[in-house]
Amino acid sequence: MSLIQPGDHKAYMQLALEQAKKSPPKATNFSVGAVLVDLATNNILATGYTLELDGNTHAEQCCFMKLAAQYGVPEEKLKDVLPADMALYTSVEPCFKRLSKNLPCVERVLPLAGSIRTVYVGIMEPEKFVGSNTGKKSLEDAGISVVHVQGLEAEILAVATAGHVKS
């Protein structure tokens, strides 16, 4: 059981921000943190941050890759082994497009629709790399709520853009 009280969205977002701070600053990435929570038990199932795992990995991707390894299933089969009522907290809105040609995070979340019921975000994705993010609409069309957790925006943006050239 998590030490965070159930429904304390700001505390879970703070945990996602702490994960983001572990990400090495890089001019071509946002430093993002993610936390996947089983809502029935309030257990943290996985955490992740940008570039935590080999490759050009994103925070949500790292959560899912670690869970797939833990359960010994391909990422596409995670819905078969994960709880039926989860929330994903991510410091920056999940990406809908990857310039690296990796699978976008939104497309990693969509197969878990029905299990991941809500994605809580600290900030919406800045338009710096891929323009306007249409992922929120894709998630909502699949029945996944996207909720902005307010109160940490300035700190999340500062961490997310660490290593970027300021214009």
Which residue ranges make up each domain of the chain? 9-160
**Which pTM value belongs to this model?**
0.93
Q: Distance (Å, rounded) from C-alpha 53 to C-alpha 96?
A: 20
Tens-digit pLDDT profile for residues 15-34: 999 999 999 998 888 899 99
Looking from the CA of 14 toward its CB, the CA atoms found within 13 Å total: 8
Q: What is the dihedral of CA 128, 134, 137, 140, to 10 degrees?
A: -70
Spatial CA neighbour of 39 closest among 107, 118, 111, 106: 118
- Taking all residues of the chain, what is their mean pLDDT, rounded to a whole number? 91
Residue of 52, 60, 93, 125 with catalytic role = 60
Retrieve residue 44's tokens. 């943290």
What one-character DSSP code corresponds to residue 52?
S
Q: What is the pLDDT of residue 139?
A: 94
Contact between 47 and 18 under an 8 Å Cβ cutoff? The reply is no
Sign of CA dihedral 147, 132, 102, 162: negative
Retrieve residue 118's tokens. 């809500």
- Three-state DSSP state, 40: coil
Q: What is the pLDDT of residue 128?
A: 58
Q: Distance (Å, rounded) from C-alpha 161 to C-alpha 16?
A: 15
Q: What is the pLDDT of residue 126?
A: 64
Q: What is the pLDDT of residue 131?
A: 52
Tens-digit pLDDT profile for residues 72-130: 999 999 999 999 999 999 999 998 877 677 889 999 999 999 999 999 999 987 665 55
Active-site residue flag, 60: yes
Q: Distance (Å, rounded) from C-alpha 46 to C-alpha 51?
A: 15
Contact between 133 and 93 under an 8 Å Cβ cutoff? The reply is yes
Class of domain 9-160 as given by CATH: alpha beta
Q: What is the pLDDT of residue 156?
A: 96
Q: Distance (Å, rounded) from C-alpha 147 to C-alpha 152?
A: 14
Given 3-state DSSP classes, what are the helix, strand and coil percentages for the chain, each rounded to the nearest 5?
Answer: 30, 20, 50
Tens-digit pLDDT profile for residues 31-80: 999 999 999 999 999 999 999 999 889 999 999 999 999 999 999 999 99
Q: What is the pLDDT of residue 97?
A: 78
